[in-house]
């Protein structure tokens, strides 16, 4: 007699993956692309606009040392462990619940609101780590008497809450939520639909790394363009020493620099988000292939 009973033939096996896959994959990606994230943040908060990505990166290394390009890494990892774990995990769970009896992927008009809900929840959970991340990345650019000198991400969040009040852990929450909603919707839906399109129209192998790479590159391009305006405003709001309204920041900056202000740092943002998106989705697909913590259910 078999130790494992055979399920009835009318039931279909389905693999259920752990909630943390997206967060783990995002942490791997963030560790690889952090220097570009730091460069993007510094370009967005620069007092003098028009700086180039390469110039900003080399100026940082020349003036502060090679290790400076990893300033705020602990905050970046904490942000991915909170924000990305929640948004990816919530999206996958909602997508699973929205599947019909045939277990086919839901259509785009269903995926979009699901991804927006996931991005909303994830951005709220990850906001304190995001504030710490922006501040730690820009700390060395400030005058010595104004530097915060956070030891790590946890120290940053604790000190912000203690010295400035808990509400300042959620500084920039408005633009961060908008960005989180736009990022999740543009990134995961673009990836899912791009992957489906390649498989359906060109017969690409759905388990091929080339398919993962191509779909994730498309997702990175779409996400960077959609999120750039909000990302710039969010970064400036979080970096500011005093609270400045979102509308005031936007109007003042557009008057001073024109509409191009909203796409400041687009190049490093894409160069960072492209590889980060690729690494994230490829790592997540690889985790699904290995299946740590996964379980099989019959429906």
Q: Please name which of 140, 20, 134, 161 lies closest in space to residue 84, comparing C-alpha atoms.
A: 20
Q: pLDDT tens-digit profile of 1-12? A: 445 555 556 667
Percent of the chain with pLDDT over 70: 87
Q: pLDDT tens-digit profile of 70-122? A: 988 888 899 999 999 999 999 999 998 898 777 788 899 999 999 999 999 99
Q: pLDDT tens-digit profile of 142-153? A: 888 889 999 999
Q: How many whole angstroms separate alpha carbon 106 and alpha carbon 43?
A: 39
- Report the Cα–Cα distance between both ends of the chain, in Å, rounded: 24
**In the beta sheet, which residues pair with residue 14?**
297
Q: pLDDT tens-digit profile of 124-142? A: 999 999 999 889 888 888 8
Q: Please name which of 298, 295, 288 lies closest in space to residue 24, comparing C-alpha atoms.
A: 288
State yes or no: pLDDT of 68 exceeds 80: yes
Residue 176 confidence (pLDDT):
87
Which residue is listed with tokens 């730690």?
A: 136
DSSP, collapsed to helix, strand or coil, labels residue 14 as strand
Which residue is listed with tokens 């030891």?
A: 151
**In the beta sheet, which residues pair with residue 205?**
none
Q: How many whole angstroms separate alpha carbon 117 and alpha carbon 47?
A: 35
Tokens of 63: 């003036």
Residue 1 confidence (pLDDT):
46
Q: Between these two residues, 297 and 155, which has the higher pLDDT value?
A: 155
Percent of the chain with pLDDT over 90: 48
Look at domain 13-298 and name its CATH class: mainly alpha
Which residue is listed with tokens 């997508």?
A: 95
Whether 154 and 78 have beta carbons less than 8 Å apart is answered as yes
Residue 2 confidence (pLDDT):
47
Q: Which residues contact 294 (CB under 8 A, 6 or more apart)?
A: 15, 16, 17, 18, 288
Please state the pTM of the whole predicted model. 0.80
DSSP, collapsed to helix, strand or coil, labels residue 244 as coil
Mean pLDDT of the chain: 86
Report the pLDDT averaged over residues 13-26.
90
């Amino acid at each position: 007699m078999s130790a494992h009973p055979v399920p009835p033939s009318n039931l279909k096996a389905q693999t259920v993956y752990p909630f943390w896959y997206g967060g783990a994959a995002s942490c791997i990606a963030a560790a690889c692309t952090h220097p570009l994230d730091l460069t993007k943040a510094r370009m967005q908060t620069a007092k003098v606009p028009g700086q180039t990505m390469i110039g900003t990166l080399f100026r940082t290394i020349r003036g502060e040392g090679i290790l400076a390009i990893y300033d705020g890494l602990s905050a970046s990892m904490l942000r991915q462990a909170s924000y990305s774990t929640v948004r990816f995990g919530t999206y996958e769970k909602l997508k699973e619940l929205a599947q019909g009896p045939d277990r086919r992927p839901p259509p785009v008009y269903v995926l979009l609101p699901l991804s927006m809900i996931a991005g909303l929840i994830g951005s709220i959970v990850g906001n304190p780590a995001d504030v710490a991340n922006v501040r730690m990345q820009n700390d060395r650019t400030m005058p010595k008497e104004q530097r915060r000198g956070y030891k790590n991400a946890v120290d940053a969040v604790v000190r912000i809450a203690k010295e400035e009040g808990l509400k300042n852990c959620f500084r920039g929450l408005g633009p961060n939520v908008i960005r989180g909603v736009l990022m999740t919707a543009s990134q995961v839906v673009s990836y899912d639909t791009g992957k489906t399109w390649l498989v359906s129209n060109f017969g690409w192998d759905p388990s091929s790394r080339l398919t993962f790479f191509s779909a994730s590159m498309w997702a990175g391009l779409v996400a960077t363009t959609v999120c750039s305006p909000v990302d710039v405003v969010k970064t400036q709001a979080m970096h500011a020493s005093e609270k400045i309204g979102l509308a005031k920041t936007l109007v003042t900056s557009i008057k001073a620099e024109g509409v191009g202000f909203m796409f400041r740092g687009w190049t490093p943002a894409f160069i960072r988000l492209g590889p980060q998106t690729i690494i994230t989705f490829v790592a997540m697909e690889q985790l699904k292939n290995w299946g740590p913590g996964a379980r099989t259910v019959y429906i």
